[in-house]
Amino acid sequence: MGVVHFERAKLLLEQSRYQMAEEELRQAVAESPNDAGIHAVLGLCLSCQQRYQEATLEVEVAIAIAPDSPFPHYILGYILCERQQLAAAQKAIQEAIQLNPYQASHFALLARCHYQQKQWQASLKAATKGLSLDPEDVECLNYRALSLSQLGRGKEAIAAVKGAIATSPQDAASYASSGWILLSHGGSGSQQKALEYFREALHLNPNLEWARQGVVEALKAKNPIYRLMLRYFLWGSRLNHRTRWVFTIGLFFSMRMLLASFTNAGLTPLVAVVAIAYLLFVIFSWIADPLFTLMLRFDRLGRLALSPEEIQQSNWWGACFLSAIASCILWFCTKNLSALISASVCGLLMIPIAATFNCEQGWTRRAMAIYTIILATLGISTVIVSIASLAFYQIDWLWFLPMIIFFPGVLLSTWVATLLTGIMPKR
């Protein structure tokens, strides 16, 4: 009983028609309420609709019906991976492997779990184990290639992903993986080849978000300045949260020691050059992504590739950027202090605005957004008080009071954002 509805549902799932698949699965459950497989696939269907709590409950029903069946444990691991509950996901996957250690897809999901936790060596090991069971498992091939890339073994990664494409030329994820690996390790002109791979991935699966993001990055990487920054960003993505903090703090104190040694040696001009270069690097590392995203708004293909979220980011960031430029022009023409203050406020706000959209959706982005709104309120207050003070000839330094909080708040925002971007909110 329920077999006809179940088979229809599986076909609809393959076509990404999740609502219709759910209807078929509900009818299958009604006819076969004790079929663990149907409950598990219903959980998968609900997960595809981002109804994660319902999905988890449905799979837990499947496990209660058939605790010794590996499939419900595998689906539970998949859903928990989607929910960013990686420790629990890993436990569920290990249970599926214990029940059936000869299924390559189990090791592919374990590789994914390790990969999302930036455990590159463990991810590579799991993918390799899966390939020993099924040398043509495309997910294992992809995670092996991606893990090699994150371990800095670029040539091996490129060769591995070519093998994945040869094995499954209709798999969109393989083309997307190849594009990202080329952006990380490819030579001159690799961004154009990467763009072709991303386009092919979207041709095969128009809903593959990872490939759409790749198109955006490949288009921005046509600019040689952004290409260098992208290499830096991709290198930074290989670091786990703790290592990133060590690198950031270590770089900060190393620069301070270097500048102090230059000062003691009487190399004052060199101190200024190094300090300015370091400051520009730090600022550009925060604003490069939104700046070049804004530039894509003027590119025909770029406009089509941007998501609504990226358009919203470029709108907010672009408003600050243009306001800062307009205020600079006004100050240059009039020497009005309020215009200079406005230029400073708008320019500094570009950093926390960019940081807000760098955070993952969830409580981390909300927290960064609240922090940015507080800074914006202080900045706008500074401008308004300065205009009022100058207009009515009152105390002309009163604007300095909110600025005392605003300026260090902007500097602190980079550290707050570094903390929040390293956190993956659970769903």
pLDDT digits (tens, 9 = 90+) for 40-50: 999 999 999 98
Give the distance from CA 123 to its chain's centroid: 19
Residues with Cβ within 8 Å of 404's Cβ and at least 6 positions away in sequence, in order, are none
pLDDT at site 62: 93
Select the CATH number that applies to the domain covering 104-219 from these four: 1.25.40.10, 2.30.30.50, 1.20.58.100, 2.60.40.150: 1.25.40.10
What's the pLDDT at 256?
76
Q: Is the pLDDT of residue 125 over 90?
A: yes
Whether 104 contacts 134, CB under 8 Å: yes
| Residue boundaries of the structural domains of the chain | 1-101, 104-219, 241-421
120/239 Cα distance (integer angstroms): 10
Q: What rounded mean pLDDT belongs to the chain?
A: 87
- 327: helix, coil or strand? helix
Residue 228 pLDDT level (bands cut at 50, 70, 90)? confident
Single-letter amino acid, residue 411: L
* The amino acid at 220: K
**pLDDT the model gives residue 394:** 57
What pLDDT, on a 0 to 100 scale, did the predictor assign at position 249?
A: 80
Question: Which pLDDT does position 242 carry in this prediction?
Answer: 77
pLDDT at 74 exceeding the cut of 70: yes
Q: In the structure encoding, which two tokens stand for residue 9, read together? A: 């549902």
Q: Is it true that 1-101 and 104-219 share their CATH fold?
A: yes
DSSP string for 229-263: HHHHHHHHHTS-HHHHHHHHHHHHHHHHHHHHHHH
pLDDT score of 395? 54
Pair 156, 183: CB distance under 8 Å: no
Q: Assign 273 a pLDDT band (cuts: 50, 70, 90).
A: confident
The pLDDT tens digits for 23-60 are: 989 998 888 889 999 999 999 999 999 899 999 999 99
Contact 31, 1 (CB under 8 A): yes
Is the CB of residue 410 less than 8 Å from the CB of residue 403? Answer: no
Residue 203 half-sphere exposure, CB side, CA atoms within 13 Å?
9
Residue 349 has pLDDT above 60, yes or no: yes
pLDDT surpassing 80 at residue 397? no
Lowest mean per-residue pLDDT among 13-17, 84-88, 325-329 = 13-17
With a cut of 70, say whether residue 218 has pLDDT above it. Answer: yes
Which range is least confidently modeled, 1-15, 155-169, 282-296, 344-358?
Answer: 1-15
Residue 361 confidence (pLDDT) above 80: yes
Confidence of residue 390 (pLDDT cuts 50, 70, 90): low
- Residue 33 makes CB contacts below 8 A (sequence gap 6+) with none
Both tokens assigned to 221? 């990487």
The highest-level CATH class for domain 1-101 is: mainly alpha
In this prediction, residues 280-309 reach a mean pLDDT of 86
What was the pLDDT predicted at 198? 92
- Residue 6: is it exposed, middle or buried by C-beta count within 10 angstroms (0-12/13-18/19+)? buried
- Percentage, residues of the chain above pLDDT 70: 97
Rounded Cα gap, residues 172 and 154, in angstroms: 21
